[in-house]
Amino acid sequence: MTKDNNISKAGGANALWGGRFDGAPSSIMEAINASIDVDRRMATQDLAGSSAHAAMLAACAIISDEDEKAIQRGLAEIGAQIARGDFTFSTALEDIHMNIEARLGDLVGEAAGRLHTARSRNDQVATDLRLWLRDALDSIDTLLADFQRALITLAEAEFDTIMPGFTHLQSAQPVSFGHHMLAYVEMMARDRGRFTDTRKRLNENPLGAAALAGTAYPIDRDMTANALGFERPMANSLDAVSARDFALEFLSAASICAVHLSRLAEELVIWTSAGFAFVSLSDQFSTGSSIMPQKRNPDAAELVRAKAGRICGDLNTLLMVMKGLPLAYSKDMQEDKEPVFDAYDALCLSLTAMTGMMSDLGINRAALAAAAGAAYSTATDMADWLVREASVPFRDAHHLTGQIVKLAETQNKTLSALSLTDMQTIAPMLTEDVFDVLTPQASAASRTSFGGTSPQNVKSQIELWKEKLS
């Protein structure tokens, strides 16, 4: 053995690369080339793809029935070994495909060498990742539905609890707390739609595209597509091995979903602060301080907020990997799986944490009610009263109400605490009836337009959502 800058030059050729190479790869080449620590997560999918491929090869008389039976027996044993934790993964064998193929050779001998007929690792990995992501999307949809149910349960309990609605994080108009929760139910529904669309588009079979050009063997790609639950084989072999838009689409949908979760997490951080005290998190989702004994920190919400950045970073990682790649396959694409797996793990954990927090959330109704009536939140209701009851054009009503708010500020009073006489110095058309619309409860109850915040609307929407999710 000789060494040059700690790079090994000795050893035989890599058996997986055939006769083209005389020497072994350097230790650095082996380290940068190997992906087994990442792609071993696709073992189940790789075994399924190999099983379907072997069955098709036998059905097309490309391999013998005896070889196919031996291959299927070996693949089943490898699956059992992996499930038991008995399988040894080797970095020298680079990836999950070659680890399984090498072990298959140990188990069934020469028949294992016939499995790779009419396929390449290029179409194999594309197939595995689509299969893995299809399962992942199903798991995410279940978690999203669970989160929606937690939000709906909370909305139902607080459908008539009034809180301030905000724009610019300034108190704007009173809204139902249940209405606020249902806003996130709607967001999650759109997220589920994006993931569902992603699943539909990715559900095409690359297997049989081989390295990039297809194969001269008389294979049946419809058979493998059906066996693996794909809608159809991919129609272009170059596209089949080089496309990663399905992974980008998943990461894009995951990023949008994570941003939605981050917005709610941010509200929990704000609402649990002493300045707001709208809600409280239980011990299950709070932490303390090593120096300040009074502290209760919303760390779970903060970490969900942070993970949105991580997931968005995963999207940018794969965008940068793919942005300049010519057709067809390039080794750069080995970097596709780590951001996909990382985003999936982070999103699942975030969804689970948010579901737990919202299922366990304490509501401070008194603080919400007090805040709902502060900062002249019913000013729009006074302007609407002037339009509706006194036929004042809205722009004029807006101006008059603004002057009345200014008067209330000078007297340090709420609108409902002002005397009618003082109000009439600015808007003489006001009557005693205006006080009926100046409470937060009356304001929220009046918003009966479709999609509005009236508690009655909220109850109706809750029933619709419960039916959808049943």
Is 213 within 8 Å of 188 (Cβ atoms)?
Answer: no
Element holding 35 (H helix, E strand): none
Is 386 within 8 Å of 429 (Cβ atoms)?
Answer: yes
Counting Cα atoms < 13 Å in the Cβ hemisphere of 271 gives 25
Please state, in angstroms and rounded to a whole number, the distance separating the CA atoms of residues 323 and 31: 25
Is 276 within 8 Å of 371 (Cβ atoms)?
Answer: yes
Reading the block at residue 252, the tokens are 């894009």
Please enumerate, as own/partner, the contacts of 280-284 that have beta carbons within 8 Å and a separation of 24 or more.
280/361, 280/362, 280/364, 281/357, 281/360, 281/361, 281/362, 282/360, 282/362, 284/356, 284/360
- Catalytic annotation present for 116: no
Closest CA to 381 of 166, 174, 179, 177: 174
Three-state DSSP class for 297? strand
Please state, in angstroms and rounded to a whole number, the distance separating the CA atoms of residues 267 and 176: 15
Three-state DSSP class for 95? coil
DSSP type of residue 13: P
Catalytically annotated residue among 27, 64, 289, 330: 289
- Beta strands at 279-280 and 362-363: parallel, antiparallel or unpaired: antiparallel
Q: How far is CA 388 from CA 34, 422, 439, 441, 445, in A?
A: 72, 21, 17, 19, 16
Catalytically annotated residue among 168, 290, 449, 470: 168
- Catalytic annotation present for 168: yes
The catalytic residues are 168, 289
